[in-house]
Every structure is written in C-alpha cells, then in structure tokens.
Amino acid sequence: MTTAICSYENIRQITSCTVCNRTFKDPRILPCGHTFCIDCIRNIMLDTTIMACPNCLAKHTIVNVDLLSQNVALMQLLHIRKIDIVQNKQCAICNVQPSITSCAHCSRQACVSCLEVHRQEVISDITRETMEIERMSDELKLALNQTSNDFRDQCDETFQQANKRFDEMQKNLKLLNERLCQKIQEFHDRRQADLARCVARLHTEIQSIDKFVGDSKHLLVDVNVQTEVLLRLKQQFQEPRKRLPILSRDLIESTPTIQFVSSSFQMLNEELAGTLVLDKPIHGNISPNGTSASGDHDSRLAALASGSRTGKMEIIGQEGCGKLEFKSPAGMTINSDGHLVIAEIDNNRLQILTREFTHIRTIIGFREPRDVSFTKDKRYLITDNHKLIILDEEFHKVEVIGSNKSGKGRNMFNNPTGITIDEDDDDIIICDTNNDRLVLISRDFKWIRDINTGIDTSPRYVCLRQNIIYVTSGTKACVLIFNKNTDQQINTIPELTLGLSIDAPRSIRYVRDLLFVTSSLSKSIFVFTIDGEYRGELRHELFARPIGILFIDDSLYVTDSDKHALFHFSGVLQ
C-alpha cells in the first residue's frame, strides 16, 4: 500500500469549489478543464446558455448543465479519503494530526502515520493465519498417507481372519467360503478405488490451498499492495480455515472399514433362506390341481409351481437410516445406469443401490416419498406429500406440481401415490389417492386431465397396457380397469362373481402378459392373466407387509414396509 504525503490544507484546496468555497457537491468539468459544483454552474448561468469560466474567463455555450461530464477522479478522492472539511476531525489513534481518511478495517479516522502502523498490524495477523493454515495442511497430508496405509493393513488382517475361520468350517461350507471371499475382494477393490479417488480429490484441494498460501506470502512482501487488498486477503483466509476441517472429516467418512464377524454371515442355501412359492389356485375358474379352466398350466410360472424353489433368494437391509437400511420402503424403479431407486416413506429419502446391493447414493429432502419412476428423458418422478417432484438425472429439481397443502383443483393433489408412464405417448399417470382420481400429465409436465375412479375408491398404484389402465383400489379390494381414451371403467379384477378379493392391494406390475398385485394384508403377491384369470399367489414365509414390486429380467424385487427390507428372488419367470 502507498499513501501520498500531503498536508491537510492541500487536500482541502483540491476538494473545494472556487465559487462557493465549500466541498464539491456533484463536481462537473467545463470544456476548459476547470471543475465546479453543478449548482454553482447553474447559479452563474441563470437563464442564459453562455457561461464564462470563473477561473480562466473562457466562454462556453452550455445547453444542458446535466450533460456536463462528472469529475470521476475527484468523486473517488472524496469517497475514498472521506475528507470532512467542515468538522475537521482529528486522527482517532494519535489525537494530534488531522484525519486524512478512515481505516477500512475498523472505520476509525486516521492520519497517514497512524494508518501505516495499523497496516503493519494487519500484516502480522495475516502472517499468523498463514502459519496456522500451513500447520493444518501438513497435518492433513500426514493423515492422508497414514489412512491409506491403515486401510491396506486392515484389509490384509481381515483376509487372514476370514481365511482362518473358513478353514475351521465343515466341508459343506466350501462353496460359501469362496463366495464370501469373492465378496470381500470385490468390496476391497471397489472401496480401494473409492478411497483413491477421495485421496486424489483431497490432494487437489490441498494443492489449491498451498497455492493460495504461496500467493498470499508474495503479496505480503509487496510494499505497493493496497490495504483493501490485504483486508480482502484476510477475509479470504476464513475459507481455507473452514475448508481444512471439512476435508479432514471427509477423509474420515470416506475411509472404508471392513470387519469379519463369523456370526453375522448366514448360509444362503435353500434350507435356511426360505422359498418363494406359487400357491395353487383355489378360486374362480381354476381347478384345485393348479391348472386353468382351459387345462393348461401357465408355463411362465413353471419355476414356482408346486412349491418349486427359485434360483436364489436374498434379504437386504434392516430397520435404520444408514446405508442399506430402510424405514417403510415403498415404490421403486430402475434408472438408466441399471441401478435400483427405492422410495422410503419414514426415512424421507430415496436410496440408490446397484443390483448387487452396493450403496451408490442417498437423496434426502422429501416429506413422504411413496413412489418413484424414471422417464425416457432421464427424469425422476416422485410422489411426495401433496405434490409431484421432477428431478433430472443428477437429482437437481426441474419442476414441482402441487404443494405441501392438499387440494382438488388443477395442478393440486391430495396424497398422491403410484406413478406409471405410457410408453407410446410418454403421458404420466398418477394416482391422486384421497381425491379418488387419476391425473394425466404430459411429458413436458403440463396438466392434461383427470379420470374419476369413483367415490371412496382410493386409487393406490397403477400400470398401463395398450391404453388400458389397471389401478389398485385401497378400499374396494380389487383392481379397477379403465379405458384411457374414453376415461370409462371397463371391469374389475377379480370379477365380483368369483368371490375373491385382494386385501389391501398396493403395487401392480404388468410383466409378460401377467398382472402382479401386492396384498399387504394377505402377505402375498396375487397373479392374474391380462384377462383377469386368477393364477395364484406368490408367498414367502418371511413376507410381513409387501408393498412395491419390480421385475428386472427374471428377477423379482419386493419392498416390505414392516420388515424394513428388500427381498430379491432370481429365476422367478422363465
């Protein structure tokens, strides 16, 4: 910083108008170069357009005084130095010299000498901040190296413990031993890669901070640097001071841990894992031996007929709010990356998992997300509270239809639940449960119309096939069928004459000309043909309150809101 050494009277003369002898107010420059207050110019001119300069007597023709150029340099001098000629304030530091300007840091009036002393104090503060940041940076570098080495040693120790335990097991556990070792290796490779990316990111952050510190040191030795620059530099040091503890916390949270506990592993063989079976149909036009009225058993469910077992069964998660933990999981979908996206009502979030059940990401900020769908345009649709939320592929908000208050009008919802998408025209169909209607929205999220499902029908979840809408009714214990083109109800599944009901129907899916409907009270999944022919119920001994279902290839995924878990069955469909 440099400060011109000048007397108080010199500055007063520079900043005073020679006409009114007062501090300039809105100084304007005449063509001859002399400067006067705009009001002084007006008083001299009166009603004429000819003015003689009071200093050099040069005559000027001025049509409009407001068009004269403002003396910007003089205005800046008045503003920066804040000279107060009338009050003639003294330096607030030494109380001897008249004040020339005010300190930008503490706003006190100061003379030139005291301002330089104060500048040195600011430099000392910044120097201390620099040394503190260098110390914190060095500690973080050491922690990075130590963490990587500790994790490598921990993985080696884990492998030793696992192999020692497996050697003690019976020969019939050899297959499980190989499977667990493979899982641990995959975990190690995956998390080691994650840790390497985290370390690289933190190194980049540290290099950026080191560069900032180096630039700061260079400024401190520059005698010409302005005080305002130093003060801004001091403020900028707050960011790395806040950032370094955050980086340390990120390192701790990103550091993977692994532990082998023998009692935590279950044998996932057929005897202990349970089975998913198709109960033989006993209702309607289905004979007791499990064949349809036509005499042909449904070959699509042959793998489940007569209690035969599926290829593999897994139960993922437990009650909680951490990774791979759930609270009232409900609807789910699959995104363009092939990852599972699960809505959790009581955790107020979405959880994204791979199909191998590795946690990818958690999206928070919802109230009661009940269903989620993924469009061809890579948009996530979530029914939440009394609104439909649309997010892009990176989970940034695109649009919100509705609000936190319920309503029955256009662009309003009352506890919406299920979502489906028409693959032909990309229309979105939403179950507006407490309004007893279906809402149709275009692909650009414009309200089209609503379909009345009937009084006290409480539509829950919905699917679509060739302009025929299938919607589960929470109060009618059945599936309502509507024609999308005419908005008219066609029929119900099951028909009332069959004497069959679906207790508390929830999610519905159409797969390979079959309809699958979860029944939360029956603890099963009802199976019907597209014509409404009852084919039986998928049951599992561990089902408590199944809600959401999703088919991917030959695998079936089921969310259970009472078990707070996700069931996975492979080989369900052939």
**Looking at residue 299, what is its pLDDT?**
53
Residue-wise pLDDT tens digits, 130-181: 888 888 888 888 888 888 888 888 888 888 887 777 677 666 666 666 767 7
Residue 468 identity (one-letter amino acid): I
- Per DSSP, 90 falls in state B
In this prediction, the residues of the chain whose per-residue pLDDT falls under 50 are 1-5, 83-87, 261-274, 281-297, 302-310
Q: What pLDDT is stored for residue 104 in this prediction?
A: 67
Q: What homologous superfamily is domain 4-88 in, according to CATH?
A: Zinc/RING finger domain, C3HC4 (zinc finger) (3.30.40.10)
Structure tokens at 456: 């006290």
Quick one: pLDDT at residue 269?
A: 38
pLDDT of residue 97: 66
- Residue 421 CB-density burial (10 A; 0-12 exposed, 13-18 middle, 19+ buried): buried
Burial code (b: 16+ CB inside 10 Å, e: under 16) for 438-475 equals bbbbeeebeeeebbebeeebbbbbbbbeeebbbbbbbe
The one-letter code for the residue type at 134 is: E
pLDDT score, position 562? 93
Residue-level pLDDT at 271 = 35
pLDDT at 558: 95
What pLDDT, on the 0 to 100 scale, is given for residue 173? 67
Q: What pLDDT does residue 99 have?
A: 62
Per-residue pLDDT at 172: 60
Residue 36 and residue 20: Cα distance in Å, rounded?
Answer: 9
